[in-house]
Amino acid sequence: MPHPSYSILYVADPQASAPLYAELLDAQPVDASPTFVLFALEGGKMLGLWTRAAVQPPVAQDAASTSELAFRVADTGAVDALHDAWRARGLAILQAPQQVDFGYTFLAADPDGHRLRAFARNE
């Protein structure tokens, strides 16, 4: 049985979103066209940025907020450092760094409203 290997985010403009994701992922796109940009992630996973207006069948306009990309980091200091970096980058902070049941976390949003969570697990 195949397992999911691609995640796709629907964005207004993949070419405009690509520099942000290149910075967040510390990676450059492996493929790009006017309506799609693709990043290779660890473990063979891929992340695509696809022009929302080009997706068929069309997606709901508020579909960006129905999921999250989560970035696990080493410890609470790394969470705080990433929070400061993303805030300085201009990302909207939806949840300030705080302790929750699974660990220490904060939540940001990209310009298209996609939720980006950084966290350090409780050990």
Residue 58 has a pLDDT of 82
- Please state the rounded mean pLDDT for residues 19-27: 96
Q: How many CB atoms lie within 10 A of CB 81?
A: 13
Q: Give the model's confidence band at 60: pLDDT under 50 very low, under 70 low, under 90 confident, else very high.
A: confident
Q: Where on the phi/psi map is residue 9: left (φ > 0), alpha (ψ -120 to 50), or beta?
A: beta
- Domains of the chain as residue ranges with CATH: 1-59 (3.30.720.120), 61-123 (3.10.180.10)
Residue 64 has a pLDDT of 58
Average pLDDT over the chain, rounded to whole?
91
Tens digits of residue pLDDT in 72-98: 999 999 999 999 999 999 999 999 999
In the chain, % of residues over pLDDT 90? 74
